[in-house]
Amino acid sequence: MSGLLIAAPSSGSGKTTVTLGLLRALRNRGVALSPGKAGPDYIDPAFHTAASGKACLNYDPWGMRPDLLHANAMAATANGEALIVEAMMGLYDAAIDGQGSPADLAALLGLNVVLVIDCGRMAQSVAALVRGYAGHRDDVHVSGVILNKVGSDRHEVMLRAALEAIGMPVFGVLRQNATLKLPERHLGLVQAGEHAELDLFIETAATHVEAGCDLDRILAAARSKAPRIAVADAAPLKPLGQRIAIASDTAFAFTYEHLTSGWRRAGAELAFFSPLADEAPAGDTDAVYLPGGYPELHAAQLAEAGRFRAGMISARDRGARIFGECGGYMTLGEGLVAADGKRYAMLGLLPLSTSFAERKRHLGYRRVKPVDTSFFDGPLMAHEFHYASILFEGDADRLFETTDAAGTALGLAGLRRDRVAGSFMHVIDRAQPS
């Protein structure tokens, strides 16, 4: 397998822009590649797909079974593609239990690491930083660095000299560029589908990377020393039904590609619809999935979507299984209080009211155990990330028993009423058998 992990000492170093530019520059050269994103991120993969033209998979070393990571990586590179994975946070940053860092993923899949360094406020100190990251673990190999936000020719000379003294290859030098900044909001980057000029941004990033980096050396570093590991196709998460309707638009965009592709491999038929366009799930579906997203930004529009509401009630009445995650869970409830304090009626399929006006960050990996097997047939790995607060959860069965990554009990979460269920947990994968 050929592959690289594009990592950094910390968030904010520029690795997303560098990764997007690298993916597009290699695509423009005709290089066969497959993009990936480490961790539970459900926003960046859409940018990677836009840059590369290939579906981006998540590779989460905490939330996914090793067999699934290997199987997905092997499938993604089966035709000789280079796997280019963007890390999350810093190279050695992990969950509260110390597991699941990008370094863990690099070691597991045999990916060489390219370290993107924000050099805007340092010079010779770069050598000490890089030496520490390169030598921290014997099973993680830093092949080279890309120096980002370099201020001048003199600054570049100082940086190169320091790194030459410790024998660290410099794969590229990128100057400050104020135009290469993506807008953000409360859960991360503004979504790829909301950028009118996204392709222009990516092409600009590609030009920047092409001019400043040695793409041939980067491709050479992608040749992994790890042997290809033959694994059986890991059993995917059980599909919600045989014919699954999935909400998909800017309000419901947090869908993991590895989950939907796993459902397809298990024989499920998937169809997509847009609640924001006031579309209803198809009448022959036996399951409906409302993924996470930003319903709090579109609450008024969702409250007025009569066909969507009628279609969801019809699906419930004919016995379809309906499942909502995070934003989807909020939408299944009775009401949502937006940032301006105004309450909007939601679907009313679960006794739940939530508020985005009363914000509190909830963030972290979760181990969840279904209270019964109505929706899931065993323990799961999940992730929680939202700012909304629960105002009211009423008379319904609870969905999950939950703990954090360290094993601390967090109590019961989510609701189930007959064949309608949801929670704030983003399900990632089955739990690894003990």
pLDDT digits (tens, 9 = 90+) for 189-244: 677 677 778 899 999 999 999 999 999 999 999 976 554 555 656 788 899 999 99
Give strand pairing partners of 385.
363
| Amino acid letter, residue 347 | L
State pLDDT tens for residues 356-382: 998 888 999 999 999 999 999 999 999
User: Is 326 known to be catalytic?
Assistant: yes
| Amino acid letter, residue 124 | Q
pLDDT given at position 434: 65
Of 429, 425, 241, which is closest to residue 322 (Cα–Cα)? Answer: 241
Other CB atoms within a 10 A radius of the CB of residue 405 amount to 20
Close Cβ partners of 25 (under 8 Å, ≥ 6 residues apart): 206, 207, 209, 210, 213, 215
Helix H or strand E segment including 314 = helix 306-317
Give strand pairing partners of 396.
none
CA distances from 312 to 238, 271, 308, 420 (A): 22, 15, 6, 10
CA dihedral 12→366→406→64, nearest 10 degrees, is: -80
State the pLDDT confidence band at 186, using cuts at 50, 70 and 90.
low
CA distances from 227 to 2, 33, 142, 150, 411 (A): 10, 19, 18, 37, 42
Exposure string over 26-43, b if 16+ CB within 10 A, otherwise e: bbeeebebbbbbbbbbbb
pLDDT given at position 224: 62
∠ Cα 348 302 258 (to 5°): 90
Helix, coil or strand: residue 36: strand
Length of the chain: 434
Measured in whole angstroms, the distance separating CA 304 from the mean position of its chain's CA atoms is 30
State pLDDT tens for residues 102-130: 999 999 999 999 999 999 999 999 999 99
Counting beta carbons within 10 angstroms of the beta carbon of residue 373, is it exposed (0 to 12), middle (13 to 18) or buried (19 or more)? exposed
| Amino acid letter, residue 88 | M
Percent above pLDDT 70 for the chain: 95
Other CB atoms within a 10 A radius of the CB of residue 81 amount to 18
Distance CA 383, CA 187 (A): 13
pLDDT given at position 380: 97
Distance CA 38, CA 59 (A): 5
CA distances from 376 to 131, 209, 288 (A): 46, 44, 15
Pairing mode, if any, of strands 184-185 and 335-337? unpaired
Distance CA 316, CA 142 (A): 52
State the pLDDT confidence band at 177, using cuts at 50, 70 and 90.
confident
Q: What is the mean pLDDT of residues 253-270?
A: 95
Query: With 70 as the cut, is the pLDDT of residue 174 above it?
Result: yes
Distance CA 359, CA 343 (A): 15
CB-CB contact of 59 with 33 (8 Å): no
pLDDT given at position 60: 98
CB-CB contact of 216 with 191 (8 Å): no
State the pLDDT confidence band at 188, using cuts at 50, 70 and 90.
low
State pLDDT tens for residues 303-319: 999 999 999 999 999 99
pLDDT given at position 145: 98
Distance CA 145, CA 7 (A): 9
pTM metric for this prediction: 0.94
Query: With 90 as the cut, is the pLDDT of residue 53 above it?
Result: yes
From the candidates 56, 119, 213, 326, give the one annotated as an active-site residue. 326
State pLDDT tens for residues 373-406: 999 999 999 999 999 999 999 999 999 999 999 9
